[in-house]
């Protein structure tokens, strides 16, 4: 298990809010790239696959290789839960806090439930994993989000216009002549964000909608998945979603970075390949941040 076995529990500094940490990460690393941690055992290099802590070793190698190019890390909880590897996710979050305390951890869990259950989900994200922010589903309304907002120093990132094609089924429904995703954006910006801790998920696969959301929510941070494996256009994404100072987004890429190795059969150089792609993606994003506005 290497360095991560020696962990003592450290939690995020309560006076450093998610938003402050994210702002500093954008500037310190000159990056809007969020590296997604979606470990799929079948895609891991063969020399790691049969090890009991394969997920942990793989993710730590990816983190060390890409941290200098990233503004955040986004572990997707399903990849860990499906493999009964939540203990490895805990160790990964602990490792991130210990070695890269300036980079926010965004737990992608897309939780949504009644308030009493949401309280437990919030504890899971913020206490168990020590995440700086968690993704949540707005479908059940304000009382299902309120327990996350009680954690004033952490972020709640609300699904708004998701990157998948089927997102249009509901998110494009017209209500009073306006699509539902815009109602969500307005609701979060004007009501739910009273403590300034909210963000929105908007897919890079829909740059037009990304621009619409940016116009509604001002400088609110947006988590933007959909470049890389999903084919979203980087230039269109940055142009549509950046704030006046050329920041405002965590543009996520998972598979394109995690499985960048040219030889998945041996995969010995997977971390180097990930480093190369992360750096190139960060630089490509940065090319379109200049001349912001």
CB of 135 to ligand LLZGTKA7, least distance (A): 7
Enclosing H/E stretch for 78: helix 77-81
Please list, residue by residue across 260-289, b when 16 or more beta carbons sit within 10 angstroms of its beta carbon and e when fewer do.
Answer: bbeeeeebeebbebbbbbbbebbeebeebb
20 as an active site residue: the answer is: no
Angle at 154 between CA 271 and CA 12, to 5 degrees: 60
CB of 82 to ligand LLZGTKA7, least distance (A): 12
- Binding residues for ligand LLZGTKA7 restricted to 217-256, rule: CB under 6 A: 225-226, 228-230, 252-255
30 or 40: CB nearest ligand LLZGTKA7? 40
Which residue's entry shows tokens 């094609």? 165
CB of 8 to ligand LLZGTKA7, least distance (A): 29
229 or 292: CB nearest ligand LLZGTKA7? 229
* 3-state helix, strand and coil shares in percent for the chain, rounded to the nearest 5: 50, 15, 35
CA–CA distance, 288 with 95 (Å, rounded to integer): 32
CB of 281 to ligand LLZGTKA7, least distance (A): 10
69 or 163: CB nearest ligand LLZGTKA7? 163
* Residue of 148, 149, 131, 127 lying closest to 21 (CA atoms): 131
CA–CA distance, 54 with 68 (Å, rounded to integer): 23
CB of 134 to ligand LLZGTKA7, least distance (A): 12
Q: Which residue in 110, 152, 191, 242 is the catalytic one?
A: 110
153 or 257: CB nearest ligand LLZGTKA7? 257
- Binding residues for ligand LLZGTKA7 restricted to 36-65, rule: CB under 6 A: 36, 38
What are the residues whose beta carbons fall under 8 Å from the beta carbon of 268, sequence distance 6 or more?
A: 45, 47
Q: Does 162 bind ligand LLZGTKA7 (CB under 6 A)?
A: yes
Residues with a catalytic annotation lie at 110
For binding to ligand LLZGTKA7 (CB under 6 A), which residues are involved?
36, 38, 76, 108, 162-164, 201, 203, 225-226, 228-230, 252-255
């Amino acid at each position: 298990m290497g360095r991560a076995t020696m962990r003592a529990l450290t939690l995020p500094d309560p006076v450093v809010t998610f938003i402050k940490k994210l702002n500093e990460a954008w500037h310190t690393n000159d990056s809007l790239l969020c590296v997604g941690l979606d470990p799929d055992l079948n895609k891991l290099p063969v020399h790691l696959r049969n090890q009991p802590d394969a997920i942990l070793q793989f993710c730590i190698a990816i983190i060390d290789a890409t941290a200098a190019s990233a503004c955040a890390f986004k572990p997707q909880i399903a990849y860990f839960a499906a493999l009964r590897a939540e203990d490895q996710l805990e160790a990964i979050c602990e490792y991130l806090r210990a070695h890269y305390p300036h980079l926010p951890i965004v737990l992608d869990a897309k939780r949504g439930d009644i308030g009493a259950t949401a309280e437990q989900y919030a504890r899971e994200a913020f206490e168990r994993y020590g995440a700086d922010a968690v993704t949540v589903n707005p479908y059940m309304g304000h009382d299902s989000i309120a327990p996350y907002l009680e954690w004033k120093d952490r972020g709640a990132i609300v699904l708004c216009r998701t990157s998948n094609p089927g997102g249009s089924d509901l998110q494009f429904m017209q209500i009073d002549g306006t699509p539902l995703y815009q109602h969500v954006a307005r609701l979060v910006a004007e009501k739910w964000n009273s403590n300034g801790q909210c963000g929105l998920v908007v897919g890079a696969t829909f740059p037009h909608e990304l621009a619409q959301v940016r116009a509604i929510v001002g400088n609110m941070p947006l988590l933007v998945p959909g470049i890389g494996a999903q084919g979203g256009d980087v230039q269109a994404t940055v142009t549509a979603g950046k704030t006046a100072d050329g920041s405002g987004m965590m543009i996520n890429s998972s598979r394109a970075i995690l499985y960048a190795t040219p030889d998945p059969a041996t995969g010995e150089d997977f971390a180097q390949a990930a480093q190369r792609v992360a750096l190139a993606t960060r630089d490509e994003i940065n090319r379109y941040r200049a001349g912001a506005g």
